[in-house]
Structure 1
Amino acid sequence: MLHFKSIGTPLVLALALFAISGCEQAEKSAQQVLNQAAQSAKDAIDKTNEAAQQALSEATGSQAQKKPSDTERDDSAQDI
């Protein structure tokens, strides 16, 4: 007859080993999900930065064209 104590200890150790390997797999999966989320966030930030840079260059470019230069302003003041 088998004693419960002689089977129990290896069984507990085996279950603990399975639990640990399951935790490692869960940790790897979680790390992959976090890496994908970080990459997505980085891509979103990069796209937002590009759009902001483009908007800024368009805004400053159009304002620079609308403003008269200093020499034009001096000439118009002298005409008066």
Structure 2
Amino acid sequence: MNIKKSAVAVLLSAGVLALAGCDQAEKAAQQMLSKTAESAKQAIDDTHKAAEQALSEATGGLIEKEKPEQEKEQSSQAI
């Protein structure tokens, strides 16, 4: 009978440790996903800035840059 109780205690302990490991893995995955999203956003912003500069150079500055308010409206509509 003592062996069965010990086995149950070991199995329960192993289950708790497994759950704790899963929680840590989930937190690590969320952090990695957040960092990846931030990197992607930065890459998009850099690409947008480079495209605006290339367009400005190609047109010789004939096309005016949109006002910041219009950009905010367009980016919020795109999202």
1:3-23 per-position Cα deviation (integer Å, ceiling 9, x unaligned): xxx101011001000000000
Greater radius of gyration (CA): 1
Instruction: Output the TM-score relative to the length of structure 1.
Output: 0.74
Question: In 2, Cα distance between the equivalents of 1:64 and 1:8?
Answer: 83
Q: After TM superposition, give the deviation of residue 66 of structure 1 in Å.
A: 7.2
Q: TM-score, normalised by structure 2?
A: 0.75
Using CA pairs below 8 Å that are at least 6 residues apart, which structure has the higher relative contact order?
Answer: 2
- For these two proteins, the number of residue pairs brought into alignment is 62
Give 5+ residue unaligned stretches, structure 2: 63-79
Following TM superposition, the consecutive aligned residue runs of length 4 or more in structure 1 with deviations greater than 3 angstroms are none
- Over aligned residue pairs, what C-alpha RMSD do you find? 1.4
The gaps in structure 1 that reach 5 residues or longer are 1-5, 68-80
Q: What is the aligned-residue identity percentage?
A: 11
